[in-house]
Chains A and B, each alone.
Chain A
């Protein structure tokens, strides 16, 4: 395995093979300047977390690029308003960089709120705003008082850390909303649950391809009220009342733990970390919640029934795929390490072993948890780059790659199957039915006849 992981000197401690001893993977450090990193910035982190709130204005304060590159690229589906799919930017020009952009920001915000009557506005600071010293908070306060809606600055200057710091800035922004709503908003789900005392927030779920709706359906079938989804198919009025839920159910470890922790501290709402990918994790996500509400035994009974019914259905549905895929090897490189863990397990369910696994943003605990479930010799990487990934992929003999937009063409060039497990996925991969979709997608790509036409 040593040969497989020959890497750049400065990255030696960020690439390790799983062995008998402790993993001791170095992580959480900024990318080496000059590496072709797959990572993004603080703004990117904030933008992806808040983006799905569909009845808010998302105004990017900065030059046009940051707004242009995040315009409608993430398939976070809304059942109602589509405001989040428009691109709003102050499009700062040279004059404002010299003389300040506050006036323009004020005018832009006022015009947008006038025109679209949103429930709230988020104002994202970009790199340059951090330098020219605009008092974004002051402008936001002024517009909020004039217009009577929350206008929330997001401190997402790109250079102030990594994407993870952007998650945190987004959580700070969300935390300004949470707790500001009086009474209850009209319930969007099953009307019979409108007054249920068993309520949760689904957090860190962005409703890509409608995944939040699948998860919501399970919980409601269990008899649990979904107070809010933060932020998939998100609505400002629901997030303002998220503090009324009894439990925060948190997916996507990096993005929402911080908000959940803040809610625990201020409102005493406990939190549970879950994942919805793969059969085991999806089942566990239901049991966690049922266990929390054990005062009402029917919830666990229904959870058990759902898991039994769905597991049976899924196992039958994926069996033909598994038979074909048995013995294949996969490489996984995704944004967060928690998701990577679910993927390793889901792949194993399909008879596929993971030979390379990594993430852009994992922390030490994430990677240790990851190593604990991986086979010996699995290579674990933090903050990798294309040259390194493609070299390790070839050495490990992976036949399938699971990653995001920048990894897809690399995988194809190598003649590997590919499954997008990032924000460009077009079909829901979460929950039980998601597992079937995942199996179908992996099957479709890993076993495509195209790869047999490649002469390496």
Chain B
């Protein structure tokens, strides 16, 4: 039955490939910039490139969130690619302010406009000089050529751009902690806010897609849903007494800039996925904000630990294959290791030197037979799973093509998820998120035991 129905073109034999990416474990920078910009209130993401880029990114985000995704484009034509995209962007700025009334237009570049060499700050300056930017309205930019980095670095570049354009240091510190959110779901952003409120630590979260990409059905179409970080709050980040970046790939650049530009001391942590990483997050907030950890949070931790202990015989020794983004994979691998599972295969498409060392700190060096592809693609992962198998696969929706072929229990995690709901609504971060993740993992592992059990071993109580 593992008949290789879908991807029967995958062979177990591994041929080294240099020039080719097959079934990528990443996508390009601009979509990350678009997602980050959606996490700022009344911000209209703008794709400076061909129409297709914007259309693809909106479609991909729409499939993942099942929400309208508003973004505009410079609609490059042949002429723009010869003479530069300045007139398109100027026209677009006028159109967008008059038609959509955003507070901020967040321009990100594409491979096309980068290669042409459009100078975005110069064009923004020209727009300003020509009075195309109304008072109290802003145009900002991030450089996100598609041939560098991945969707994750695109997100990082846009978060950094918000800090760059808006964070100000007045020299008067306030009592709010700046939290830079890595690329997580609206549900995760909401959970971060809930935990911080529970801890009693005043904060500013940037970006914040909760209330934007998980908006309720009201019978009205809202161009700008009510969520998103407020511009005034981004300004205030420059006067925070400290900042925490959650995930070095997605937030490191912004945290560093906040430090150098506004002298806000930076702390870069793993995303709080799983018990240990959440411990580190809570502990850091506790120390920085000088707050005690309330009983409620201690109980959440205790409940996650309780679930881990209740079920550890089902996780013991299970081999796992992971594919996704570095900021997620590191703490996820750590959580699985805490559960006595064995992360045997791991693939990310996002290049970056810091990832593997961090992974080694968290889960140790790769053992013979292990595979850590960073960067690598899902085809490479598939080939290894075809020859060696695994007990569990955790990946975005594309992982199901592998799971289906190889008959592997599968948990959806990461971006994009194109075929299930829940990720926008129920978090994976924090202790409660850890419980949801563990529940998902146990469900597929235990479903598999039941599916394969002979009648006499098909047990009521597990």
Given contacts A68-B28, A69-B60, A159-B80, contact A44 B52 (CB under 8 A): yes
B75 contacts the other chain (CB 8 A)? yes
Given contacts A36-B72, A65-B30, A414-B219, contact A127 B112 (CB under 8 A): yes
Taking the nearest CB of chain B, how far is it from the CB of A313, in angstroms?
Answer: 33
Please tell me if the beta carbons of A34 and B22 are within 8 angstroms of each other in the complex. Answer: no
Residues from chain B with a CB closer than 8 A to the CB of A34 are 46, 72-75, 91-96, 99
Given contacts A33-B88, A35-B99, A63-B146, contact A41 B55 (CB under 8 A): yes
- Selected from A37, A105, A116, A390, the residue in CB contact (under 8 A) with B51 is A37
Please tell me if the beta carbons of B147 and A93 are within 8 angstroms of each other in the complex. Answer: yes
Please tell me if the beta carbons of A33 and B28 are within 8 angstroms of each other in the complex. Answer: no
What separation, in Å, do the CA atoms of A456 and B111 have in the docked complex?
Answer: 42
A104 contacts the other chain (CB 8 A)? yes
A149 contacts the other chain (CB 8 A)? no
Given contacts A83-B9, A104-B19, A413-B218, contact A10 B95 (CB under 8 A): yes
Please tell me if the beta carbons of A406 and B147 are within 8 angstroms of each other in the complex. Answer: no
What separation, in Å, do the CA atoms of A272 and B64 have in the docked complex?
Answer: 40
- Selected from A42, A65, A106, the residue in CB contact (under 8 A) with B146 is A65
Which 10 residue pairs across A and B have the least CB separation, nearest first?
A41-B52, A65-B28, A34-B95, A34-B92, A456-B219, A107-B19, A63-B146, A158-B50, A68-B27, A91-B21
Using a CB–CB distance below 8 Å, which chain B residues touch chain A?
6-9, 11, 15, 17-24, 26-31, 46, 49-60, 62-63, 65-78, 80-81, 88-89, 91-96, 98-100, 110-112, 115-116, 145-148, 150, 215, 217-223, 349, 379, 398, 401
Q: Across the two chains, which residue of chain A brings its CB closest to B116?
A: A131
Please tell me if the beta carbons of A414 and B23 are within 8 angstroms of each other in the complex. Answer: no
A432 contacts the other chain (CB 8 A)? no
Please tell me if the beta carbons of B217 and A415 are within 8 angstroms of each other in the complex. Answer: yes
- Selected from B26, B56, B116, B379, the residue in CB contact (under 8 A) with A86 is B379
| A 131-170 contacts with B by CB, 8 A | 131-132, 158-163
Please tell me if the beta carbons of B21 and A406 are within 8 angstroms of each other in the complex. Answer: no
Given contacts A33-B73, A94-B148, A162-B51, contact A85 B6 (CB under 8 A): yes
Which of A69, A97, A386, A414 lies at the interface centre, i.e. has the most chain B CB atoms within 10 A of its CB?
A: A69
- Selected from A65, A130, A406, the residue in CB contact (under 8 A) with B27 is A65
Please tell me if the beta carbons of B220 and A414 are within 8 angstroms of each other in the complex. Answer: yes
Residues from chain A with a CB closer than 8 A to the CB of B17 are 111
Residues from chain B with a CB closer than 8 A to the CB of A68 are 24, 26-28
Q: Across the two chains, which residue of chain A brings its CB closest to B225?
A: A413
Taking the nearest CB of chain B, how far is it from the CB of A44, in angstroms?
Answer: 5
26 residue pairs bridging A and B, Cβ less than 8 Å apart: A34-B72, A34-B75, A35-B75, A36-B100, A41-B55, A64-B146, A65-B28, A66-B28, A67-B24, A68-B28, A69-B56, A73-B59, A87-B22, A96-B147, A97-B111, A103-B19, A111-B19, A126-B111, A128-B112, A158-B51, A158-B53, A159-B77, A160-B77, A406-B55, A408-B66, A456-B218
- A40-B56, A103-B19, A412-B217 known; 20 new pairs, CB 8 Å cut-off, are A8-B95, A8-B99, A39-B51, A40-B51, A40-B55, A41-B55, A63-B111, A64-B27, A65-B29, A68-B27, A69-B56, A70-B56, A71-B24, A88-B22, A89-B22, A107-B18, A108-B20, A159-B78, A387-B223, A413-B219
Contact bitstring A12-44, B, C-beta under 8 A = 1, else 0: 000000000000000000111111111111111
Given contacts A31-B75, A64-B28, A97-B111, contact A92 B147 (CB under 8 A): yes
Taking the nearest CB of chain B, how far is it from the CB of A43, in angstroms?
Answer: 6
- Selected from A35, A103, A159, the residue in CB contact (under 8 A) with B81 is A159
Residues from chain A with a CB closer than 8 A to the CB of B112 are 127-128, 131, 158-159
Please tell me if the beta carbons of A72 and B401 are within 8 angstroms of each other in the complex. Answer: yes
Residues from chain A with a CB closer than 8 A to the CB of B94 are 34
What separation, in Å, do the CA atoms of A159 and B145 have in the docked complex?
Answer: 16
Please tell me if the beta carbons of B92 and A33 are within 8 angstroms of each other in the complex. Answer: yes
| A 78-124 contacts with B by CB, 8 A | 81-83, 85-94, 96-97, 103-108, 111-112, 114-116
Please tell me if the beta carbons of B50 and A406 are within 8 angstroms of each other in the complex. Answer: no
Residues from chain A with a CB closer than 8 A to the CB of B6 are 82, 85
What separation, in Å, do the CA atoms of A85 and B145 have in the docked complex?
Answer: 26
What separation, in Å, do the CA atoms of A116 and B74 have in the docked complex?
Answer: 39
Please tell me if the beta carbons of A405 and B22 are within 8 angstroms of each other in the complex. Answer: no
Please tell me if the beta carbons of B20 and A107 are within 8 angstroms of each other in the complex. Answer: yes
What separation, in Å, do the CA atoms of A264 and B214 have in the docked complex?
Answer: 52
What separation, in Å, do the CA atoms of A10 and B50 have in the docked complex?
Answer: 20
Taking the nearest CB of chain A, how far is it from the CB of B143, in angstroms?
Answer: 12
A454 contacts the other chain (CB 8 A)? yes
Residues from chain B with a CB closer than 8 A to the CB of A81 are 9
Taking the nearest CB of chain A, how far is it from the CB of B10, in angstroms?
Answer: 8
Residues from chain B with a CB closer than 8 A to the CB of A72 are 398, 401
Taking the nearest CB of chain B, how far is it from the CB of A132, in angstroms?
Answer: 7
Residues from chain A with a CB closer than 8 A to the CB of B80 are 159
Given contacts A37-B75, A40-B55, A405-B59, contact A116 B9 (CB under 8 A): yes
What separation, in Å, do the CA atoms of A243 and B89 have in the docked complex?
Answer: 46
